[in-house]
Amino acid sequence: MSISELTLKSKDEPVRRFEVFIGNGRRREWSDDQKAQIIAESCEPGVTVCSVARRHGLTPQQLFTWRRLARKPLDVLSVPEEAPMFAPAVVVSPEKSEPKKARQASLQRRTSPEAAIELQIDGAMLRIASGTDAATIAAVIQALKAQS
């Protein structure tokens, strides 16, 4: 296959322009010293970032990125030297939960077996047995509220 067959033009016309790309096509790698020098040059008074970027074959965006990264503090990027400290764990023994059980036992002793509801209003204990008339309960509660 000839070069003229690869073009979109007719076979009778000769190839007028032929481009050959040389190089490995890789990105340029800048050393930290080169970056620092270019950044310092772009920070001088009266110099524009675009002109410095053009002079060194960079895009202005790339130079602005370098400048932004140079402003970041180094300790943000580094790993802390000391390992984090943790507070020691405190384990509570089961003995601490016994007062709760004692309180429940004392409450059970105070309740009477025939009382369905117990109300405590201003220090007065009202035990209402199951089957008590609602009107009676309401009258007793009203009387206790009137005394307080």
Is residue 86 one of the residues assigned to a domain? no
User: Which tokens is 42 given?
Assistant: 């772009």
pLDDT digits (tens, 9 = 90+) for 55-95: 999 999 999 999 999 988 765 445 556 666 676 666 766 65
In a domain, 68, yes or no: yes
All residue ranges of the chain with pLDDT < 70 are 1-12, 21, 23-26, 74-85, 87-90, 92-115, 148
Q: Which of 143, 93, 102, 96 is nearest to 121 (CA)?
A: 143
23 domain-assigned: no
How many domains does the chain fold into?
2
Is position 146 within any domain? yes
pTM of the complete model: 0.36
Q: How far apart, in whole angstroms, are the C-alpha atoms of residue 93 and residue 61?
A: 63
In a domain, 123, yes or no: yes
Query: Strand, helix or coil at 127?
Result: strand
Question: SS3 of 129, please?
Answer: strand
Look at residue 7 and tell me if it is in a domain.
no
Instruction: Tell the residue number behind the tokens 């009676």, with chain if given.
Output: 136
Could you tell me the residue range of the domain that residue 48 belongs to?
A: 29-75
Residue type, 132: T
